[in-house]
Amino acid sequence: MGHRFTSQIFWKRCAVYVTALMALILIGLTFDSVDKITAGSERVPDYSVINKKIFYSLDEERGAYGPTIGGDAPLFEKKLSSEEAEQIVNLGKLTIQAKNCMNCHTLLGNGAYYAPDLTKAWLDEGWISESIRETLMIQFLMNPEGNSRTFGSNRKMPNLGITENEAKGIVAYLKWMSSIDTNGFPTRFKSIYQEGEPK
């Protein structure tokens, strides 16, 4: 036995077999995971979810916070088809990448730590009430210096030249993102009050 554990060829084989096995398992799991996170799946809803009300609350059975989808609540008061919804969410995603949001904010907890996490930004209690939320978000995105929300930190978002269309895209994106089942992240999140909230 002692001989085997000092043998180079034994460890060489180990390296090859272990790597191959792990890579195969990863590839298998990747097929399954990609299927389960494709938009329109149970965990990652279709983009048309932006036509609905989204809640985030503690699921006691599961022991984790999670999104629930409520009744109709079209974004900007216009009900969109699945394609139209995808288009506006896509504009939001392109803008979020082109404006380099991720190097100040985190999205799904990934990014930089200079500004708040955006995973559930749509549901943040800072937007005061659901009736003025969309207007406040658009105003903030288009003129962040004038509508700064620094909570005493003096850390202001810069003006990134976001157009009204792009701002709407970002809001649509944030609304859609808040509907993703993130296994309870962020936990203990205090959501904005919305009518019809599930108890």
Partner 1 sequence: MIIYKKAIDHLNKGQKIAIKYFAVALVLFLAQMIFGMLAGLQFILPDFLYQVLDFNVNRMIHINAMIIWMLYGFIGSVYWLVEEESGTSLVGDKLANFGFWVLTSAVTVVVLVYLFVQTGTGSEASLWLINEGREYIEAPRWADIGIVIVLLIFFYNVYATFSKGKWSGISGVLVLDLIALAGVYLAGMFYSTNISLDQFWWWWVIHLWVEATWEVLVGCIMAWGLIKTINAKREIVTTWLYIEVALMFGSGILGLGHHYFWIGTPEYWLSIGGFFSALEPIPLVAMLVHAVYDAGAKSLKTTNSPAFAWLIAHVFGNFFGAGVWGFFQTLPQINLYTHGTQWSASHGHLAFFGAYATINIAMFYMAIQVWRGEEIFGKQLIDNGKKWKWSLGLLNVGMVGMTIALLIAGYEQAFIERAVEGSTWSGFFTAQNNPTFISAMNWRMVFGSVMFIGSILLIWDLLTIRSCPGKIELKTECT
The residue from 128, 155, 193, 195 that contacts partner 1 (CB under 8 A) is 155
Tokens of 158: 């810069």
Q: Rg of the chain over CA atoms, in angstroms?
A: 22
Report how far apart, in Å, the C-alpha atoms of 87 and of each of 99, 118, 169, 196 are: 18, 20, 9, 29
Q: Does 34 bind partner 1 (CB under 8 A)?
A: yes
In whole angstroms, how close is the CB of 49 to partner 1 at the nearest point?
12
Residue 178: count other Cβ atoms within 10 Å of its Cβ. Answer: 23
Among 69, 108, 128, 132, interactor with partner 1 by CB under 8 A: 108
Q: Per DSSP, what are the bridge partners of residue 67?
A: 56
Out of 52, 53, 120, 133, which residue is the one contacting partner 1 (CB under 8 A)? 120
Count of positions on this chain that bind partner 1 (CB under 8 A):
87
The conformational region for residue 192 under phi > 0 = left, psi -120 to 50 = alpha, else beta, is beta
Binding-site member from 50, 53, 75, 117 for partner 1 (CB under 8 A):
117
Q: Is 11 in the site for partner 1 (CB under 8 A)?
A: yes
Q: Does 139 bind partner 1 (CB under 8 A)?
A: no
In whole angstroms, the minimum distance from the beta carbon of 177 to partner 1 comes to: 6
Under DSSP, the state recorded for 158 is P
Q: Is 152 in the site for partner 1 (CB under 8 A)?
A: yes
Residue of the chain from 121, 137, 141, 171 that contacts partner 1 (CB under 8 A): 121
Note whether 67 binds partner 1 by CB under 8 A.
Answer: no
Q: Candidates 73, 186, 194, 197: give the one binding partner 1 (CB under 8 A).
A: 186
- SS3 of residue 27 by DSSP: helix
Give the Å distances, CA to CA, from 50 to 32, 81, 104: 26, 10, 25
State in angstroms the smallest separation of the CB of 119 from partner 1. 8
